[in-house]
């Protein structure tokens, strides 16, 4: 018997959760349930995180959380409970299988069977944003080696466990050489440990186009957070419907399982919603807690129900579907078919599934880190970069000189183009005149001189080399 935490959520949440629990309990799931309240009611009661402190204790004790969709109230101040849960519990892997159910659910891609594995904690979703000048705001994109190693290893281990043949990685490392470059590099390193699994990398733009056009060419796809967020919805939609997909959020200690769709408030309370997305989440949960036989029984009965044309309104099509049913009737139809297998759709076998056990991240020996210069970001409302260069030359030190100015990454001094549009946000690079290292004291001296000269410095970034390799971007056009 495994104790799990359940939240019925908002909108259609309670109906689809009741249907899901009824099905898995009828199949013999050995679970005990602690129910907690999350979402709209909690938000509106004045708790901006949408969850009470005591509920965290229950989630952390049980470690396995089945969550129905919730409504995040409109307006500022309310934090997304999903994002908070993923981060607090370290749920670094988001796993979304997207499989077409041709010819029973309409899809342009009859042979699609893709699993999207999205990094869930870092990238632009670290949520570190600042406004620094009148005209410019920034969001920090953080990619870490441990974060990348964990998610990429998870993708290969997943492929190995489920007998999948290929893992594809998407990044934009032709532009983001440091951040996406690290993700790609780690992918190449880890791929070598799995010679039996094919691996490939695509630049995310053309890769996405190919995924949307010929998804059957993909198997497991591993992506940094933002690309994964976008593409997992695209993949679910083109497989048939976002209403059919579930997702698992996996961490080293805890895991959360859910449908990928929202709380569909307009459909609430009418016995209309399709419980399949949440049921798919619950099936992944059963595999995770080692009740594979139950998971397999439920999945095969669900496939048989779909195959028998018993469909909720969202997937109902005249000529293909046989019977339009509500949430409850759909659940009953799945229960009637427990023990049966689909005849046309591929029956599943979850004998080998289990929660993946990954080795702990091992920190590498630190590299030799050298300070080669500093980028001082300046808020300046002028328009001529040559004029700014003259001002900045006043703060140069004997050894540390202004070497470049960029505006939104494009080099505008020396030898910029008059045509280049400039904002009020300037990156001013200072380096040793002979290419030697500089000191932190040099940076402090530069900043102190800037202050005396009324230069509005908004931030600095140190320019490092790690083991002799320059680890910062050049100016575009440099």
* Contact residues: ligand NAD, CB under 6 A: 12, 16, 69-72, 82, 243, 258, 261-267, 273-274, 277, 314
Strand order of the sheet with strand 456-466? 410-413, 400-407, 425-432, 369-379, 456-466, 469-470
User: Whole-number minimum distance, CB 278 to ligand NAD, in Å?
Assistant: 8
When computed from its CA atoms, the radius of gyration of the chain, rounded to whole angstroms, is 26
| Alpha carbons 116 and 248: distance in angstroms, whole number | 11
| Alpha carbons 403 and 413: distance in angstroms, whole number | 8
Toward ligand NAD, which CB reaches closer, 90 or 265?
265
Q: Which of 425, 424, 423, 403 is nearest to 414 (CA)?
A: 403
User: Whole-number minimum distance, CB 290 to ligand NAD, in Å?
Assistant: 25
Determine the residue with CB nearest ligand NAD. 262
| Alpha carbons 296 and 286: distance in angstroms, whole number | 9
Toward ligand NAD, which CB reaches closer, 258 or 308?
258
User: Whole-number minimum distance, CB 70 to ligand NAD, in Å?
Assistant: 4
User: Whole-number minimum distance, CB 23 to ligand NAD, in Å?
Assistant: 14
373 and 431 in contact (C-beta within 8 Å)?
yes
Backbone φ and ψ of 441, nearest 5°: -60, -35
| Alpha carbons 115 and 32: distance in angstroms, whole number | 29
Toward ligand NAD, which CB reaches closer, 151 or 264?
264
Toward ligand NAD, which CB reaches closer, 146 or 262?
262
Toward ligand NAD, which CB reaches closer, 250 or 273?
273
Question: Concatenated DSSP letters for 206-256?
Answer: HHHHHHHH-GGG-SEEEE-HHHHHHHHHHHHHHHT-GGG-EEEEE-SS-EE
Toward ligand NAD, which CB reaches closer, 11 or 147?
11
Toward ligand NAD, which CB reaches closer, 275 or 385?
275
User: Whole-number minimum distance, CB 45 to ligand NAD, in Å?
Assistant: 17
Q: How far is CA 327 from CA 12, 14, 27, 299, in A?
A: 10, 11, 18, 17
Toward ligand NAD, which CB reaches closer, 71 or 94?
71
User: Whole-number minimum distance, CB 374 to ligand NAD, in Å?
Assistant: 42
Toward ligand NAD, which CB reaches closer, 96 or 411?
96
User: Whole-number minimum distance, CB 57 to ligand NAD, in Å?
Assistant: 21
User: Whole-number minimum distance, CB 266 to ligand NAD, in Å?
Assistant: 6
User: Whole-number minimum distance, CB 107 to ligand NAD, in Å?
Assistant: 16
| Alpha carbons 245 and 261: distance in angstroms, whole number | 8
Q: Tally the C-alpha atoms within 13 A of residue 411's C-alpha that lie toward its C-beta.
A: 14
| Alpha carbons 307 and 104: distance in angstroms, whole number | 6
Q: How far is CA 160 from CA 189, 216, 235, 349, in A?
A: 17, 19, 21, 15
């Amino acid at each position: 018997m495994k104790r799990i935490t359940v939240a019925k959520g908002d909108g259609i949440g309670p109906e689809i959760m009741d249907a899901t629990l009824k099905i898995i309990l009828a199949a013999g799931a050995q679970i005990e349930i602690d129910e907690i309240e999350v979402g709209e009611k909690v938000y509106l009661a004045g708790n901006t995180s949408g969850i009470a402190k005591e509920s965290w204790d229950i989630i952390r004790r049980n470690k396995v959380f089945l969550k129905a969709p919730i409504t995040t109230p409109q307006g500022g101040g309310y934090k997304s409970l999903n994002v908070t849960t993923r981060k607090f519990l370290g749920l670094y892997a988001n796993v979304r299988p997207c499989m077409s159910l041709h010819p029973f659910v309409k899809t342009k891609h009859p042979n699609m069977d893709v699993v999207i594995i999205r990094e869930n904690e870092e990238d632009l979703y670290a949520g570190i944003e600042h406004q620094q000048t009148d005209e410019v705001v920034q969001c920090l994109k953080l990619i870490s080696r441990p974060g990348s190693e964990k998610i990429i290893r998870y993708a290969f281990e997943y492929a190995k466990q489920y007998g999948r043949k290929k893992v594809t990685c998407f990044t934009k490392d032709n532009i983001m050489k440091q951040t996406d470059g690290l993700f790609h590099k780690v992918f190449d390193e880890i791929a070598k440990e799995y010679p039996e699994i094919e691996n490939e990398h695509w630049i995310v733009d053309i890769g996405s186009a190919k995924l949307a056009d010929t998804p059957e060419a993909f198997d497991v796809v591993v992506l940094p957070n933002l690309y994964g967020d976008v593409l997992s919805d695209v993949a679910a939609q083109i497989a048939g419907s976002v209403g059919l997909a579930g997702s698992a959020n996996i961490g080293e200690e805890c895991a959360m399982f859910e449908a990928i769709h929202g709380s569909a408030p307009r459909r609430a309370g009418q016995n209309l919603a399709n419980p399949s997305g949440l049921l798919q989440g619950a099936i992944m949960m059963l595999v995770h807690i080692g009740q594979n036989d139950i998971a397999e029984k439920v999945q095969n009965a669900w496939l048989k129900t779909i195959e028998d044309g018993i469909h909720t309104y969202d997937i109902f099509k005249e000529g293909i579907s046989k019977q339009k049913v509500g949430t409850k009737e759909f659940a009953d139809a799945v229960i009637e078919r427990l023990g049966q297998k689909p005849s046309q759709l591929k029956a599943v076998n979850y004998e080998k599934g289990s929660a993946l056990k990954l080795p702990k991240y091992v920190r590498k020996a630190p590299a030799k880190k050298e300070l080669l210069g500093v980028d001082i970001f300046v808020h300046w409302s002028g328009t001529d970069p040559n004029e700014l260069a003259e001002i900045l030359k006043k703060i140069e030190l004997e050894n540390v000189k202004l070497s470049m100015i960029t505006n939104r990454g494009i080099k505008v001094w020396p030898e910029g183009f008059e045509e280049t549009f400039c904002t009020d946000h300037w990156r001013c690079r200072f380096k040793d005149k002979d290419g030697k290292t500089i000191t932190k004291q040099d940076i402090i001296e530069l900043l102190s001189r800037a202050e005396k000269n009324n230069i509005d410095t908004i931030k600095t970034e140190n320019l490092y080399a790690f083991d002799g390799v320059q680890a910062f971007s050049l100016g575009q056009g440099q």
